[in-house]
Amino acid sequence: MDERLDLGIREFNEGRYFEAHDILEDFWQGYREPDRVLLQALIHSAVGFYHLDNGNLKGCRSQLVKACAKMGAYLPEYWGLDLAPLHASMRKQIDVIDVHWQTKAKSLELSVRPRIQRSHRIAEGYSSIS
């Protein structure tokens, strides 16, 4: 698997969402396999949290909804990545935004941002995520 997946995930896990999106986008533009949908889901996720950091709640919510929808077919893990916790965090973040809009609750964020971890069962031929 392309090293840009590792690099993008590292940036994501460090909270550098613009950089994460940028690296993953570069990979996605030239990757033509059907599972490029999952790459795009990771891009949506990074962009969603980038928008959240910048107070763009509408943009954040729309991106996280797209990320969840596209990631659905690859749960709970794919490419040796444990995707279920990320998916659950994004769903929760969407709920937090909805509650904020409905009740004007102050809380806008999850207490802990999701990290993309390597799953226990390493995908064949792919084990470089650390």
Quote the least distance from Cβ 29 to other proteins, whole Å. 7
Return the range that interacts with other proteins (CB under 8 A); candidates 1-9, 23-31, 82-90, 119-127.
23-31
63 touches other proteins (CB under 8 A): yes
- Provide CB contacts within 8 A for 15, sequence distance 6+: 49, 53, 113
Interface with other proteins, residue 93, by CB under 8 A: no
Q: Which residues contact 125 (CB under 8 A, 6 or more apart)?
A: 1
Q: How many residues of this chain bind other proteins (CB under 8 A)?
A: 19
Using CB under 8 A as the criterion, which residues of the chain lie in contact with other proteins when the complex forms? 18, 21-22, 24-25, 28-29, 40, 43-44, 47, 50-51, 56, 58-59, 62-63, 66
